[in-house]
Structure 1
Amino acid sequence: MGESVVNVGAPPNSRASMGLENSNWHSELDYDRWVSLPVAGPRPSARYKHGAVVIDEKLYIVGGSRNGRNLSDVQELDLRNLSWSTIKIKTQSQADNIINGGLSEVFPATSGHSTIKWGNRVLLLGGHSKDTSENVTVRFIDLESQVSGVMETTGQIPVARGGQSVTLVGSKVIMFGGEDKHRRLLNDVNVLDLETMIWSVAETMKTPPAPRCDHTAAVHVDRYFLVFGGFSHSTFFNDLHVLDLETLEWSQPQIQGNLVIPRAGHAGVSIDEKWFIVGGGDSKSGALETLVLDMSTLVLSVLTSVERNDPLASEGLTVSSALIDGEQFLVAFGGYNGNYNSEVFVMKPKPKDSKQPKIFKSSAAAAAAASVTAAYALAKSESLDFTAIEHSKTKVDLSVEIGVIKEEKKALESSIAWVKAEKSTLRAKLDEINETHTDLSKELHSVQGQLAAEKSRCANLETQISELQTRLSSMQSIEQKVESLRSQKSAFDHNNSVQKQSSGSWRWMAP
Structure 2
Amino acid sequence: MHYWVRASSSDFGGTVPQPRSGHSAVNIGKSKVVVFGGLVDKRFLSDVVVYDIDNKLWFQPECTGNGSNGQVGPGPRAFHIAVAIDCHMFIFGGRFGSRRLGDFWVLDTDIWQWSELTSFGDLPSPRDFAAASAIGNRKIVMYGGWDGKKWLSDVYVLDTISLEWMQLPVTGSVPPPRCGHTATMVEKRLLIYGGRGGGGPIMGDLWALKGLIEEENETPGWTQLKLPGQAPSSRCGHTITSGGHYLLLFGGHGTGGWLSRYDIYYNDTIILDRLSAQWKRLPIGNEPPPARAYHSMTCLGSLYLLFGGFDGKSTFGDIWWLVPEEDPIAKRYTESPPKVLPENKDVAMENYNSQFAVKESQRESSTIVELQKKLDISVSLSRPGLQIMDELEDEEFLELASRLMGAGVFSNGQVSRIQATQVLRDHWKKSTPRSIPIKELGPLLRDYQRLIARHL
| TM-score higher than 0.5 | yes
* Distance change >3 Å, CA 286–CA 307, structure 1 → 2: farther
Q: Is the contact between residue 289 and residue 304 of structure 1 (CA under 8 Å) also seen in structure 2?
A: no
The residue number in structure 2 matching 1:52 is 25
* Distance change >3 Å, CA 237–CA 133, structure 1 → 2: closer
Give the AA of the match of 2:42: G
* Distance change >3 Å, CA 297–CA 67, structure 1 → 2: same
In the TM superposition, what is the alpha-carbon distance from 1:92 to its structure 2 partner? 3.7
**Residue 252 (1) aligns with residue 221 (2):** no
Find 1:123's aligned residue among 65, 90, 93: 90
The residue number in structure 2 matching 1:88 is 62
List per-residue Cα deviations over 1:458-509 (Å, max 9, x = no partner).
Answer: xxxxxxxxxxxxxxxxxxxxxxxxxxxxxxxxxxxxxxxxxxxxxxxxxxxx
**Residue 286 (1) aligns with residue 265 (2):** yes
Aligned mates of 1:439, 1:149 — CA distance in 2: 57
* Distance change >3 Å, CA 19–CA 436, structure 1 → 2: closer
Aligned mates of 1:438, 1:184 — CA distance in 2: 39
Aligned length: 319
What TM-score do you get using the length of structure 2 for normalisation? Answer: 0.63
The residue number in structure 2 matching 1:194 is 160
Partner secondary structure for residue 156 of structure 2: strand
Computing the radius of gyration from Cα coordinates, the structure with the larger value is 1
Aligned mates of 2:77, 2:180 — CA distance in 1: 15
Q: Is the contact between residue 4 and residue 323 of structure 2 (CA under 8 Å) also seen in structure 1?
A: no
The residue number in structure 2 matching 1:230 is 195
Partner secondary structure for residue 225 of structure 2: coil
The residue number in structure 2 matching 1:160 is 126
Partner secondary structure for residue 268 of structure 1: strand
Q: Is the contact between residue 48 and residue 340 of structure 1 (CA under 8 Å) also seen in structure 2?
A: yes
In the TM superposition, what is the alpha-carbon distance from 1:435 to its structure 2 partner? 9.4
Q: Is the contact between residue 215 and residue 264 of structure 1 (CA under 8 Å) also seen in structure 2?
A: yes
In the TM superposition, what is the alpha-carbon distance from 1:209 to its structure 2 partner? 1.1
- Using the TM superposition, name which of 298-307 and 240-249 deviates more: 298-307
In the TM superposition, what is the alpha-carbon distance from 1:105 to its structure 2 partner? 3.2
Find 1:213's aligned residue among 157, 163, 179: 179
- Using the TM superposition, name which of 278-287 and 63-72 deviates more: 278-287
The residue number in structure 2 matching 1:342 is 317
Aligned mates of 2:40, 2:428 — CA distance in 1: 52
Aligned mates of 1:156, 1:243 — CA distance in 2: 19
Give the AA of the match of 1:332: L
In the TM superposition, what is the alpha-carbon distance from 1:309 to its structure 2 partner? 8.9
Aligned mates of 1:81, 1:438 — CA distance in 2: 53
In the TM superposition, what is the alpha-carbon distance from 1:275 to its structure 2 partner? 1.1
Give the AA of the match of 2:296: T
For structure 2, list consecutive stretches of 5 or more residues without a partner in the other structure.
212-217, 256-262, 327-421, 430-446, 451-456
Aligned mates of 2:158, 2:50 — CA distance in 1: 27
* Distance change >3 Å, CA 250–CA 85, structure 1 → 2: same
Aligned mates of 1:177, 1:84 — CA distance in 2: 33
List per-residue Cα deviations over 1:121-172 (Å, max 9, x = no partner).
Answer: 21112211269677x3220112232221211110000101111111111221
* Distance change >3 Å, CA 342–CA 196, structure 1 → 2: same
- Written as runs of structure 1 = structure 2, the 5 A alignment for 1:424-503 is 434=423, 437=426
List per-residue Cα deviations over 1:154-196 (Å, max 9, x = no partner).
Answer: 000010111111111122111000011x241101111111121
Partner secondary structure for residue 152 of structure 2: strand
What TM-score do you get using the length of structure 1 for normalisation? Answer: 0.57
Q: Is the contact between residue 189 and residue 209 of structure 2 (CA under 8 Å) also seen in structure 1?
A: yes
Partner secondary structure for residue 230 of structure 1: strand
Aligned mates of 2:286, 2:202 — CA distance in 1: 22
Q: Is the contact between residue 105 and residue 149 of structure 1 (CA under 8 Å) also seen in structure 2?
A: no
The residue number in structure 1 matching 2:42 is 68
**Residue 330 (1) aligns with residue 301 (2):** no
* Distance change >3 Å, CA 18–CA 227, structure 1 → 2: closer
Aligned mates of 1:74, 1:314 — CA distance in 2: 22
**Residue 15 (1) aligns with residue 28 (2):** no
Aligned mates of 2:160, 2:7 — CA distance in 1: 40
Aligned mates of 1:45, 1:306 — CA distance in 2: 29
Partner secondary structure for residue 175 of structure 1: strand
For structure 1, list consecutive stretches of 5 or more residues without a partner in the other structure.
1-8, 22-37, 94-101, 352-432, 448-511
The residue number in structure 1 matching 2:238 is 266
* Distance change >3 Å, CA 259–CA 439, structure 1 → 2: closer
Give the AA of the match of 1:346: W
* Distance change >3 Å, CA 438–CA 81, structure 1 → 2: closer
Q: Is the contact between residue 330 and residue 347 of structure 1 (CA under 8 Å) also seen in structure 2?
A: yes
**Residue 174 (1) aligns with residue 141 (2):** yes
Q: Is the contact between residue 220 and residue 273 of structure 1 (CA under 8 Å) also seen in structure 2?
A: no
In the TM superposition, what is the alpha-carbon distance from 1:104 to its structure 2 partner? 4.5
List per-residue Cα deviations over 1:405-446 (Å, max 9, x = no partner).
Answer: xxxxxxxxxxxxxxxxxxxxxxxxxxxx85954999xxx9xx
- Written as runs of structure 1 = structure 2, the 5 A alignment for 1:105-116 is 105-106=71-72, 107-116=74-83
List per-residue Cα deviations over 1:17-60 (Å, max 9, x = no partner).
Answer: 46656xxxxxxxxxxxxxxxx44454322000001112242221
Partner secondary structure for residue 253 of structure 2: coil
Percent identity of paired positions between Structure 1 and Structure 2: 23
* Distance change >3 Å, CA 305–CA 184, structure 1 → 2: farther
In the TM superposition, what is the alpha-carbon distance from 1:260 to its structure 2 partner? 2.1
In the TM superposition, what is the alpha-carbon distance from 1:300 to its structure 2 partner? 0.6
Superposition RMSD in Å: 3.1
Partner secondary structure for residue 175 of structure 2: coil
Find 1:78's aligned residue among 52, 76, 93: 52
Aligned mates of 2:246, 2:288 — CA distance in 1: 26
Aligned mates of 1:197, 1:439 — CA distance in 2: 55
Q: Is the contact between residue 132 and residue 140 of structure 2 (CA under 8 Å) also seen in structure 1?
A: yes
In the TM superposition, what is the alpha-carbon distance from 1:68 to its structure 2 partner? 1.6
Find 1:241's aligned residue among 203, 207, 222: 207
Q: Is the contact between residue 4 and residue 289 of structure 2 (CA under 8 Å) also seen in structure 1?
A: no
Partner secondary structure for residue 207 of structure 2: strand
In the TM superposition, what is the alpha-carbon distance from 1:114 to its structure 2 partner? 1.3
Q: Is the contact between residue 207 and residue 251 of structure 1 (CA under 8 Å) also seen in structure 2?
A: yes
In the TM superposition, what is the alpha-carbon distance from 1:305 to its structure 2 partner? 5.7
Aligned mates of 2:98, 2:116 — CA distance in 1: 14
Q: Is the contact between residue 109 and residue 130 of structure 1 (CA under 8 Å) also seen in structure 2?
A: no
* Distance change >3 Å, CA 70–CA 307, structure 1 → 2: farther
